[in-house]
């Protein structure tokens, strides 16, 4: 069975789906791996390294495999180059890409979306959302420290003492916890907020303070460990109370997201207006609408003497380790769906069933069908 890796075609994408380290393991397990020339250059992996790992580096090989692994969703042109019956694995953004999903079904491609891997213990090694969120959270803290016109740590100098910056991280998922940990390492006083009461211990274990806000609810944790959507009344109260807390912060890093939906609005313009001059907001939810009312994806907005930064695709800004983590996630999934060098997809398996978006010409993922308005199969 051949696994192929194309060079990513999305603008500014520097990651690669398989690293030489993982290729070597796959080849040892009896799989054939083909790499498009230059596929790994953005993450500093040469064609020669792939050859040494046992891969075939061939022009036009990227989309030729029985299984094609990618980072970003394929273009419609790339879908047209996949052979009928091929398996495609990668981040596919199926909830917001109806044209792509329909094209994959029409091409009779079995598409497995990495973002649809279920949050169960057995699937932890395949959880690419978490591995890439780790990179994004780390990067977000560095951006905040770089853009803030003040020090993060307390400094004692001959000219006097500089107080440490106060940083608030909204959302304590993987990205949020990594942002908290990184901001703490940089010496800031860090506060963490999440509507899920269960994460308080995690926030405090990193040396941060848990920001308590009384929304009048016991907990807001839904199935799978995500935060449940709040009611409109709860959201309004949350925004008002957060505005009071944000007013005293030098930097805010927002990471709140609900899979398959628009990011919740947490930071209203009045909260930005009340922040100290020169403060910074880094909105990791920019690509799904933003947690801040002023966020624009891919841009830095300056309003009320505050920078509102809407970074996109932060994992690609650190492609070496982001690719390494992602490739290991892919390896774990390939080990599940192959046996003795052959494809062995078990659609009764919870992981395969949850990740499968299209199969045999049909859109089989119920949540995706509803999101894009496709009829039931």
**How far from 277 is each of 252, 256, 281, 303, CA to CA, in Å?**
13, 24, 12, 10
> Would you place residue 376 in the very low, low, confident or very high pLDDT band (cuts 50, 70, 90)?
confident
- Percent of the chain at pLDDT > 90 equals 89
* Residue (of 186, 244, 248, 196) closest to 220 by Cα position: 196
Question: Which residues, 6+ apart, have CB-to-CB distance to 76 below 8 Å?
Answer: 99, 100, 103
- The pLDDT value recorded for residue 269 is 97
What's the average model confidence in pLDDT over 79-102? 96
> Would you place residue 229 in the very low, low, confident or very high pLDDT band (cuts 50, 70, 90)?
confident
Tens of pLDDT along 303-330? 999 999 999 999 999 999 999 999 999 9
Q: And the tokens for 196?
A: 């899920």
- The pLDDT value recorded for residue 198 is 85
Hey, where are the domains in the chain?
2-126+319-372, 133-312
pLDDT at 300 exceeding the cut of 90 = yes
- The pLDDT value recorded for residue 221 is 64
Q: Could you tell me the fold of the domain covering 2-126+319-372?
A: Rossmann fold (3.40.50)
Does domain 133-312 sit in CATH 3.40.50.300? no
pLDDT at 220 exceeding the cut of 80 = no
- The pLDDT value recorded for residue 308 is 98
**How far from 105 is each of 2, 81, 111, 294, CA to CA, in Å?**
21, 14, 8, 37
Annotated catalytic residue, options 226, 237, 320, 324: 226
pLDDT at 259 exceeding the cut of 80 = no
Annotated catalytic residue, options 43, 50, 127, 239: 127
For 237-292, strand residue ranges (E) read 251-254, 280-283
What's the average model confidence in pLDDT over 242-249? 96
Instruction: Establish whether domains 2-126+319-372 and 133-312 are of one fold.
Output: yes
- The pLDDT value recorded for residue 224 is 60
Annotated catalytic residue, options 64, 93, 97, 130: 130
Q: At what angle do helices 128-147 and 319-337 cross, to 10 degrees?
A: 170
Residue 346: active-site member: no
> How high is the mean pLDDT of the chain?
95
Dist. CA 53–CA 286, nearest whole Å: 38
Residue 226: active-site member: yes
Annotated catalytic residue, options 29, 124, 236, 377: 124
Residue 323: active-site member: no
- The pLDDT value recorded for residue 71 is 98
- The pLDDT value recorded for residue 196 is 86
For the full predicted model, state whether its pTM sits above 0.85.
yes
Residue 124: active-site member: yes
Annotated catalytic residue, options 119, 150, 228, 274: 119
- The pLDDT value recorded for residue 214 is 84
């Amino acid at each position: 069975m051949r696994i192929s890796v194309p060079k990513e075609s999305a603008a500014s994408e520097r990651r690669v789906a398989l690293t030489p380290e993982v290729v070597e393991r796959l080849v040892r397990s009896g799989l054939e791996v083909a790499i498009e020339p230059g596929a790994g250059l953005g993450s500093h992996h040469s064609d020669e390294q792939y050859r040494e790992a046992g891969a075939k580096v061939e022009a036009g090989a990227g989309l030729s495999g029985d299984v094609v692994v990618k980072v970003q969703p394929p273009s419609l042109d790339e879908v047209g180059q996949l052979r009928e019956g091929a398996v495609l694995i990668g981040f596919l953004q199926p909830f917001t890409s109806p044209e792509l999903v329909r094209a994959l079904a029409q091409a009779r491609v079995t598409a497995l979306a990495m973002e649809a891997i279920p949050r169960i213990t057995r699937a932890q090694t395949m959880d690419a959302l978490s591995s890439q969120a780790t990179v994004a959270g780390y990067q977000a803290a560095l951006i905040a420290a770089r853009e803030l016109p003040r020090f993060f740590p307390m400094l004692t100098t001959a000219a006097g003492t500089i107080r440490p910056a106060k940083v608030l991280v909204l959302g304590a998922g993987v990205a949020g916890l990594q942002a908290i940990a990184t901001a703490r390492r940089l010496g800031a006083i860090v506060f963490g907020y999440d509507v899920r009461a269960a994460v308080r211990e995690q926030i405090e274990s990193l040396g941060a303070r848990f920001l308590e806000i009384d929304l009048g609810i016991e907990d807001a944790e839904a199935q799978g460990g995500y935060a449940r959507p709040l009611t409109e009344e709860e959201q309004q109260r949350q925004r008002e109370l957060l505005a009071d807390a944000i007013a005293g912060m030098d930097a805010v890093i927002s990471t709140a997201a609900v899979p398959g939906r628009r990011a919740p609005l947490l930071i209203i313009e009045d909260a930005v207006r009340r922040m100290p001059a020169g403060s910074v907001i880094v909105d990791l939810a920019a690509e799904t609408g933003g947690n801040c009312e002023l966020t624009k994806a891919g841009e830095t907005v300056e309003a009320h003497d505050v920078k509102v930064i809407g970074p996109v695709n932060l994992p690609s800004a650190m492609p070496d380790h982001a690719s390494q983590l992602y490739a290991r996630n892919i390896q774990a999934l390939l080990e599940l769906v192959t046996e003795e060098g052959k494809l062995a997809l078990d659609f009764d398996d919870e992981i395969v069933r949850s990740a499968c978006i299209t199969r045999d010409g049909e859109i089989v993922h119920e949540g995706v069908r509803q999101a894009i308005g496709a009829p039931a199969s």
